[in-house]
Amino acid sequence: MGRVRVAVDIGGTFTDICILDEDTHALRVLKLPSSQDPIDAALDGLTKAGLHLADVSLFAHGTTVATNALIQRNLPPTAMVVTAGFRDVIEIGNSTKEDLWDAYRDNPPPYIRRRDRLPIAERTDASGKVEQAIDPLEARTLASKLRKRGYQSVAICFMNSFANAANEKAMKTLLQQELPGVAICTSAEVLPEIFEHDRFSTTVINAVLRPVVGEYALRLQERLKQGGYRSDVLLLHSGGGVMTPKSVDTHAARLASSGIAAGAIANRYIGQLCGFPNSIGFDMGGTSTDVSLAWQGQLTTTRDWHIEYGHPVCFPSIDIKTIGAGGGSIAWIDEAGSLRNGPQSAGASPGPACYGRGGENPTNTDANLVLGRLDGSLVGGDLKLDVKRAITAIESKIARPLGMDLISAARAIIKVANGNMSDAIRLVSIMRGYDPRDFALVAFGGAGALHGAALARDLSIPSVIVPPHPGVTSALGCLLVDIRHDLLTTFVRDASSVDPHEIDLEFQKLEAEARERLHHEGVGDQNVVLQRTIDMRYQGQWRSLSVPASTPFIDMHEAIQSFSTAHQREYHYQRVGAGIEVFRLSLTAIGLTPKAELAKHVPRHDIPVPYTKRPVIFDEDTCESSIYQRDDLHSGARFSGPAVVQQLDATTVVPPGVSVTVDPWLNLIMTV
């Protein structure tokens, strides 16, 4: 095996590559346009770097293939076999809408059309008793219909299968015999969850994605193998871990949020590296901004997420808020005459007006250029910026209609954008019971360092961390993860009377399945870590909260106390004296993998010298600002704003009154 680790984060516009030398801990980064076949861009980047796949010991990968397939509805023919009378569960959903007050806007249609949702007579009651078994004759007739229609994948979703999956297993066995080569998954395998809409929706998404990402993962593995790579590809999933291609067959839906999870993992790692166990990740790209939160070294997670509203994916996922705010977000005036920013984006083509590619609408990039915060070029000089076009766009679309001068209009554009992003940070912090003043802000992405200090000042966040390579930090996150599986079982009991031994036995069953999965993926016993959690709720509640559970589990009182504390933090109240019930038992199974270690540099104490100065416009003042090149800032360097730090993949703005220290890992730490 070689001594090089590679991480590839493939986005819709750019493919980011990190190459880490295990011996020297030197990190190389590449950023190149994504290709029509995402695999081509990744392999072309490795060729450009002069890297031989035989020298790669680990290949980790974050991808938007699954996300894009769902958004674009570029999905294979898929059927759903469902209990008679319940074929419309995924269409009815939970009867909510993304915008409650918009009577004309419907939720996106289900991923499987009604004509492809085929009912069959069967019945299992809520206690798990099979009231009506599958009729083999009816099942074979249904299988014949599936075969004639040429489906590539089938989702089997029966009522109450979480309590007893016998009918689903029988149907799957029969379909495997009748439909060789067709991907078949059952809801009890995918998500043994009591709520049928959540379970059905997750299973359907798993089924429609399985041929897409399964084929992609196997094709990627094969092309890497042909080039000399001798290990498994590690695919980043929404829960903040990785999975091998072997796991994609059963849990394809976990890749639906693969791309943005890497940035959250990098946020946690960089925060801890710099001595901040509490950190907020601020990943601002060209089109959107992703915000994540790590508390005491742990990323917050959620089971309530979706790619399109009304179609939940209920695997545990890192809690990330995404808004339409990026460097290419368009500033516009609404019908009431108010200035807005995003979510519309100029994208990569035509892009902001200053790109000179035909874009006429003003964007955040145009405003930053007019304010002097950006130089006349990006990407190391490969992309020239036209300030005259930026001025024309802002004056014609914003300044003159609002009766403002050019500079005031540019400032206003940035203020509105910052307000939107501050609100997103409040959603993951204040709305979850966390005080932003207790956190550091890790600003990355192509545009994160431009706005990081301003957001920190707005939210009273004391420190901002800018990684050495902000534009490719998400790719770095792919090198910082372990193999991870999340297993669960519905277990509804009164917390005051349940036998802890019964709970421990259920956990042992989950642990046996977890070890089997990890062994299947080549993880040795010495690298297996199992983490138990219990989901609890007040009696009568719908939502639950997860709290840690001990191994072995012998004391229910400790779990009840942990639940009360968590409920107080999350919702700011406790129902003293109210009954509490156990709802779900969950297990996180981790297979430890080798982690990236970044090179540590010896501090020097000479004062860095700016290579030039230029006027930069901040909130109210125009300041003569020092301009630094990031490569010239060594470990131990200190300087204060007003300043701008430029590099290949990002620009960092340091406002007046903000001091900067370069740490031993070459992170910029701004004290606001």
Per-residue pLDDT tens over the stretch 335-357: 999 999 988 888 767 888 998 88
The whole-number pLDDT of residue 326 equals 84
Q: What is the pLDDT of residue 582?
A: 93
Judge whether 556 and 498 are in contact, CB under 8 Å.
Answer: yes
Share of the chain above pLDDT 70, in %: 98
Is residue 26 scored above 90 in pLDDT? Answer: no
pLDDT score of 600: 87
**Predicted local confidence at residue 664, as pLDDT:** 94
Q: Is the pLDDT of residue 546 over 70?
A: yes
Choice among 63-67, 365-369, 506-510 with the minimum mean pLDDT:
63-67
The yes-or-no verdict on residue 383 having pLDDT over 80 is: no
pLDDT over 90, % of the chain: 49
Q: Is the separation of the CB atoms in 517 and 247 below 8 Å? A: yes
Which CATH architecture describes the domain 485-591?
2-Layer Sandwich (3.30)
d(CA 300, CA 433) in angstroms, rounded, equals 12
What is the CATH T-level fold of the domain 75-199, as seen in this structure?
Rossmann fold (3.40.50)
Predicted confidence at residue 12, as pLDDT, reads 62
Confidence of residue 295 (pLDDT cuts 50, 70, 90): very high
Query: Is residue 140 pLDDT above 60, yes or no?
Result: yes
pLDDT over 80 (residue 399): yes
pLDDT of residue 406: 94
Q: What is the pLDDT of residues 640-658, one digit of tens each?
A: 989 999 988 789 999 999 9
The CA distance from 92 to 309, in Å, is: 13
> At 13, is the pLDDT very low, low, confident or very high (cuts 50, 70, 90)?
low
Q: What is the pLDDT of residues 147-158, one digit of tens each?
A: 999 999 999 999
Res 2 pLDDT > 60: no
In contact, 253 and 390? CB cutoff 8 Å: no
In the β-sheet with 643-646, what is the strand arrangement from edge to edge?
A: 612-617, 622-629, 643-646, 651-654
Inform me whether the pLDDT recorded for 379 exceeds 70: no
Q: What tokens were used for 370?
A: 């007019």
Domain boundaries, the chain: 75-199, 278-293+315-481+607-672, 485-591
Q: What is the mean pLDDT of residues 214-236?
A: 87
Distance CA 452, CA 650 (A): 12
Please, what is the average pLDDT of the chain? 89
The answer to whether the bond into 350 is cis (omega within 30° of 0) is yes
pLDDT for the residue 348: 67
Q: What confidence category does residue 382 fall into, taking pLDDT thresholds of 50, 70 and 90?
A: low
The CATH label, of 1.20.80, 3.90.25, 3.30.420, 1.10.10, for the domain at 278-293+315-481+607-672 is 3.30.420
SS3 131: strand
| pTM for this model (two decimals) | 0.81
Residue 381 pLDDT level (bands cut at 50, 70, 90): low
Give residue-wise pLDDT tens across range 165-199.
Answer: 999 999 999 999 999 999 999 999 998 888 899 99
Tens of pLDDT, residues 36-76: 788 888 888 888 888 888 888 888 888 878 887 888 888 99
- Which pLDDT band holds residue 501 (cuts at 50, 70, 90)? very high
Of 335-339, 392-396, 568-572, the range with the lowest mean pLDDT is 568-572
C-alpha–C-alpha distance, residues 183 and 175, integer Å: 10
Strands of 78-83's sheet, edge to edge? 117-120, 78-83, 153-157, 183-186
Closest of 194, 148, 143 to residue 171, by C-alpha: 143
- What DSSP letter does each residue of 612-648 carry, written as one string? EEEEEE-SS-EEEEEEEEGGG--TT-EEESSEEEE-S
Where is pLDDT greater, at 82 or 346?
Answer: 82
For 17, residues 6+ apart whose C-beta sits below 8 A from its C-beta are 6, 7, 8, 9, 29, 30, 31, 32, 42, 45, 46, 49, 472, 475
308 falls in which pLDDT band (50, 70, 90)?
confident
Give the per-residue pLDDT at 49.
Answer: 83
β-bridge partners, 56: 4
423 or 241, higher pLDDT = 423
15-37 mean pLDDT: 80
pLDDT tens per residue, range 480-500: 888 888 888 888 899 989 999
Q: What is the pLDDT of residue 1?
A: 40
3-state secondary structure 301-312: EECCEECCCCCE
**Each residue's pLDDT tens digit, 90-134:** 999 888 888 888 888 888 999 999 999 999 999 999 989 999 999
Sorted by sequence, the CB contacts under 8 Å of residue 637 that are 6+ apart come out as 604, 606, 607, 608, 660, 661, 662
